Amino acid sequence: MKNIDPLQRYDSADAFFMLGGSVLMKLSADAAITVCTTAADYGLVVTRAEGGAWHHPGFEARVDCIWDGVDPPVTLEALEQNNREASAFISKERSEHDVFVLTTQPA
């Protein structure tokens, strides 16, 4: 984990990958969707997405916005399908939840 600020909302998926991605990172909906759609390129499977509200600074987690994916190891096909489902979940929830925390693991 490199210099992740747990009180910052990250608006760039690049930051997730450059900083070693972590559940400490709060991501905007756009950044979270991009992480999900590109995680397979980094050999990562999204195992959980948690949504909530951003209160500058701070994250209010919402128990009504949790998605659980597959646990590794997984095939490339299963990984890609899982990450698409994570992205779809965030897209569906973004109207009510503006920040997401992602858990990823090596596939």
- DSSP 8-state assignment for residue 96: T
Tell me what pLDDT residue 1 has. Answer: 53
Cis peptide before 73 (omega within 30 of 0): yes
- Residues 28 and 53: their CA atoms lie apart, in Å, by 10
Q: What is the pTM of this model?
A: 0.95
56: CB partners within 8 A, 6+ apart: 9
- Residues 7 and 83: their CA atoms lie apart, in Å, by 26
Tell me what pLDDT residue 56 has. Answer: 81
Using one digit for the tens of pLDDT, what is the confidence trace for 71-89? Answer: 999 999 999 999 999 999 9
Which candidate, 39, 44, 42, 28, places its Cα nearest to that of 93? 28
60 close to 51: Cβ distance less than 8 angstroms: no
107 close to 76: Cβ distance less than 8 angstroms: yes
Using one digit for the tens of pLDDT, what is the confidence trace for 4-52? Answer: 998 899 999 999 999 998 899 999 999 999 999 999 999 999 999 999 9
Q: Judge whether residue 55 has pLDDT over 60.
A: yes
